[in-house]
Every structure is written in C-alpha cells, then in structure tokens.
Structure 1
C-alpha cells in the first residue's frame, strides 16, 4: 500500500496504524488528519477512490484530479466521501453558533420556533432535548421513501406529526435518521436559510473547509464511491469491544433499533448524485478527513490561518453531558452532549474531554480540548460497525501513544 501525505515528528505511530488498516483491517480507500494546537500534524491518504476499485462517481466520473482513469483510480489528496452520521457532529455547530449569537435558546421549547412540532405529546420538548437525542421521535410510524427524505418537506412534517415514543426529556435514544429533519427544520425556522446553506456560508467558507451538507455539483468529481465490505478474517481478534445486543436488536424488524435506522425505506443509494446533493445533517455530509480535523480544531481554538468557531464557554457546552446511560435505540450505554457523542465504552474517543461523532461504517471525527486535538478519519469501505470501528480505534490508540511520548 502506497501511503501518501505527511506526519510531523512524533506522530509516526499514526502512520503505522493507518498502513496497518489496509494490510490487516480491510480498508480500501481512506484518509486521516490530525490538528494539534491549531497546527496540522497528520495528513495521510491511501488506497482507491472507490471501495469497489472503480473510478465511477456518477455523472462526473472521470473528471477532475480525484477521479483518475481506469479501474484502480487512487485516492487523491482532495478525495471526499460521504461520512454518514459523522455529519451530525459537524451540523451541531450550527445550532450552537446560533445560540452563541443569541438567536437560539437551548432551554426553550422547540415549539417556540416550530409551532407544529408540539403535536403528539412533544409540546415540552426543549431544543437541548432535540440535540441530545431526548426528543422521543427516533422512528416514524410510516417510513419515508428516499425521495421523500430529501424533498425538504415530508421529513419535517412527519416528525412534527409523530407521536413521541417516550416523554421527551426523560430518556434518550439515538435519532439515527430523524435527526436530519429535526435539526434542519429548526434551523430553517430560526434563520430562514437551510442548514446546509447556513453551514456553507457561516462556517465552511470562512474556514476553508472541504465539507458539504448538500454537495455542490461543481465538487462531484472529487467524491469517491462507498460500498459495504466484510472485514477480513484476520481482523477478528482486533475488534475493540463487543457491541452486546445491538446487532440482535437491529435484526428484529419490530425493534425500535431497526425502526429508527429504517425511518427511510428502502435504504438510499449513497452514491446517487441526488442523495449526495441532499441537505441531510444527520447522514449525508460529504468531506475530507482534513476538513473534519480542521473543523474540530476550530471548535476548540484558532487553526492556522483560520479562526475559532466557538467561544470558550460554548466549547465547554459542546462537551457537557446531557444524556447518559441505556440508549433505547443503540441498546448499549451512550453519552451525548448537545449534538455530540461523548467519550465512553460505546464510543471511545481520545479522552473523557473529547466530543465528536462517528459515522456508521467507519468514519470518525472529534475534538479534545485538553489535548488541543482535532481528528478526522474517513473511509469508503463501510464495515458493519455502528460506533467503535476497529480501524478508527486503531488510529485513536496510535494518536494517544504519540501524544504520550
């Protein structure tokens, strides 16, 4: 495997772990980036742009620096991929920044901004409940089609009308799909702009982030194809933690777990240009590892030639626990702040100070304010992992070891 990029002195263990992910853990195409105290110290990529080894990326296949030609187009320096639920942590910066600017009260009822949402026993749902997966609407009585999921109206209408599965604010359960419509409609009601547009104009463009919630057509040539993969047999002894009953719960079509992940049915084609262009802040963000690492570095301090996103007070809020304990959807114990997953057995990050979000199948990004770290890992080889993917965890362990020397 020809690994490209650079690492600063002392961070060589991250490069070794990244190479081992291809050799032992079945990575096809991937990238990892790390910022430390606002300076980029890891920027690596390797493999093929497409998990199946092909070069096709939709209508723009074969165009631009990432697409290349032939059946084995390499992952290029600027290759981006869909990161699934790692999008949630990036999107969470929008309501927090609105709060920072005095435009959104996290302690206010959601219905104060979105009156229709109070139906179905949700009138007391607070904005912070929505952000921390306590809103009680992780599933829909009638799943949406992929076309409905991206039309901008069916999703918000469905979650507004949905009867709460529990009294909002009293328990938590991962809102895998419905988080997209909850957050996007709240931001639209507060700002008059779509969340993807607001993120692009107020965060991504000022910071120069290669990350989109709603991919512009002009960037389509950079995007690699994702695909599900089976882990190699040699990876069996390297899994970080058993996920207890998550797989069993997902296999049960009547379980809240299965219903939450199947709120869009049938499952969408994540390589479809229409899906890539959709502004779904829970699942459909597209970006580079570098863009994710830079974003998280900017949540905790000033990045090189850039700016800080949050004030120190809002950074502290991002890592403040709002939900902890048994997760009614993921089954295991989870911890959430306002939009961010927090360090714990289900989602091991760098330290208890970390906040961020994994993407089902492998991607991971987070910040650690105590270590001064912004981390991003993306992959086109979608494994069966829900939270603690072995490849991402190998990189986190290597980073921890680098920081300890």
Structure 2
C-alpha cells in the first residue's frame, strides 16, 4: 500500500542513477533498497516520480518472476490487443513519434494556476529541493527519443502507447472489453479509495492517490469525483469513470512544462463532461 500510494518515503536517491544504470534491470531496485527514507514510511506522501519504476517493477518481479514490461505485455496488452509498451520492441520503433517541447500560449491561457505557497516550478529550480531530487533520481534525465531509453522497462516514465490503447486499458478496468476485464469489483474499489491526500512533498500542490492511481482533485481534474487515472509529464492523460462508464486516453509528443493538469487534456475532459 505504501508503494502504490506514494507513501514509501523513497522519492529520491542520495546517489542518482545514470540512464544506463536506470535501465539495466538491477541497479534501480538495489538503489531504493539501500536508500534511507525521506520520512517514516506511511506517515506522509510525495510523488515518487522516478523511483516508482523500481519499487513497483521489483514488486511485480518478486510476485510473478517476470519483469513488469513482460508481465504487462503478456497479461494485459496482448489479450486486449493494445499498442502499449514498457520496453519497446525493435520492430515497433518506426511507429513512435518524436518527442519535443511545445511552449504554452503567450497570453498565459495554457497555464494552470493552483497558487500553492511555493510553485512546483520554483521547487524544481532549487537543486536541493525534494522536487528536483525526485525528478533527478536519473541524472542526466534520459532523452525520450533515445532508442535505449524506449527499450527500457521504466513504468514511472517511459510508457509508449496510442491514445486508443490507453483508453481501452482503462475501460477494461471498469468493465469487460471483448470478454476481458482487468479488475474485479473489489480491486476497482481499492484503486479509487483515497489512501493519500493533502500537500504533496514532491509536487508541492495538494494531491490525492488511491492504490496506484491519482484521484480526482485540483492537481488531476478528471471527469467526476469517482474517476481514477493519472496525468503524465508533458501533457498526457488516462482515466476511467465507473459511474458514467467513460474511459479516456490522451497522448501527445509535444511536451509542455508540467506534471499534472495540462490545459490541452483538460479541454478534452470538459468537452466530454459537457457531452454527458
């Protein structure tokens, strides 16, 4: 529960990993096992921006004997027919768009203003802050267009998917999709029952998490109070809303600065909400 709800106290590493170490399948788990927690596990929460890869990846490996990329490919992506990868195969590389930055509108309309005491941008600009150290657990940050990074199994940061596959995956969490359902009713309840809430030690703003998923709130405005899902760095978004039966996926290769509520994704959420 602590791992899945960002309460483990291990969002940062005293000795960051190089991109090659982060991707080698062993160094990450060894690093978080040796790391002294930033707070007593279970007493607070903070987004495990990079270390989530190794915490959850190692949990899956210990339980199933398979890497998380292989497990997802065999148990989720293949049965559901998803274009969804953690560890992109060589024969799929030609289909992946090149990622690059995109600037918000000059009038500021593309900026989400949450007005915390200290903005996440300010915190990220401080090399000693937990925010900067959490996102810098891999140093230097990998190039998203590097084939080696795309081939790694880093579920905190390098999932590659189409929007349709992302939506289809979330749809299978709340109901059957072509005969496949991912979550039993009890698991669905766990995914969207609040485990963490309040000021996030890493993201600075207030965040809410169930087990493995962000919940509807200021940092992640989803469709409705019962929705669960997750925004991605740069603008992507996936979520499901059991009450309406809606699942949504949005991906972009034009990365804006930000981690939570991207205005492009939010425009789509508002459109869906108004259609309902």
TM bucket normalised to smaller: over 0.9
Deviations 1:314-356 (A, max 9, x none): 1111111100011111111100011100000111000110000
- Taking structure 1 as reference, are residues 202 and 137 closer, same or farther at Cα in structure 2, changes over 3 Å only? same
Q: 1:259 aligns to what?
A: 133
Shift in Å, 1:307: 1.4
Residue 246 of structure 2: aligned partner: 373
Residue aligning to 2:182: 309
1:300 aligns with 2:174: yes
Distance in 1 of aligned mates of 2:259 and 2:115: 9
CA contact (8 A) 1:214 1:276 kept: yes
Match of 1:282 among 147, 156, 177: 156
1:400 aligns with 2:273: yes
Match of 1:154 among 10, 14, 27: 27
> Equivalent of 2:255, from 361, 382, 394?
382
Q: Of the candidates 184, 192, 200, which is equivalent to residue 327 of structure 1? A: 200
Aligned equivalents of 2:110, 2:58: Cα separation in 1: 41
Mapped partners of 1:349, 1:241: distance in 2 = 16
TM alignment of 1:337-352, pairs within 5 A: 337-352=210-225
SS of residue in 1 equivalent to 2:235: coil
Q: How do residues 133-212 of structure 1 correspond to structure 2 at under 5 angstroms?
A: 133-212=6-85
In the alignment, is the contact (CA less than 8 A) between 1:241 and 1:388 conserved in 2? no
In 2, Cα distance between the equivalents of 1:373 and 1:240? 24
Q: Structure 1: how far apart are the matches of 2:88 and 2:115?
A: 33
Alpha-carbon distance between aligned partners in 2 of 1:243 and 1:203, rounded to the nearest angstrom: 39
Q: Is the 8 A contact 2:86 2:154 kept in 1?
A: yes
Gapped regions of structure 2 (runs ≥ 5) = none
With over 3 angstroms needed to count, the CA separation of the structure-2 counterparts of 1:243 and 1:330, relative to structure 1, is farther
> How far apart are the structure 2 equivalents of 1:200 and 1:149?
20
Which consecutive unaligned segments of at least 5 residues does structure 1 have? Answer: 1-127
**Counterparts of 1:33-112 in structure 2 under 5 Å?**
none
Structure index of larger Rg: 1
Residues in 1 aligned to 2:109 and 2:264: alpha-carbon distance in whole angstroms:
13
**What is the Cα deviation at residue 306 of structure 1?**
4.0
The alignment's TM-score, normalised by the length of structure 1, stands at 0.67
1:274-295 CA deviation, whole Å, 9 max, x = no partner? 1111011111110000000000
Query: Is the 1:293–1:366 contact (alpha carbons within 8 Å) kept by the matching residues of 2?
Result: yes
Q: CA 1:157–1:391 in 2, change beyond 3 Å: closer, same or farther?
A: same
Task: Flag as ranges the 4+ runs of structure 1 deviating above 6 A.
Answer: none
Q: Distance in 2 between matches of 1:306 and 1:264?
A: 40
d(CA) in 1 for partners of 2:106, 2:114: 16
Q: How many residues are paired up?
A: 274
User: Tell me, what secondary structure is at the counterpart of 1:242?
Assistant: coil
SS at match of 2:189: helix
- 1:240 is displaced (CA, Å) by 4.0
Matches within 5 A, 1:195-274: 195-234=68-107, 236-242=108-114, 244=116, 245-274=119-148
Give me the whole-angstrom Cα distance separating, in 1, the residues matched to 2:79 and 2:18.
Answer: 35
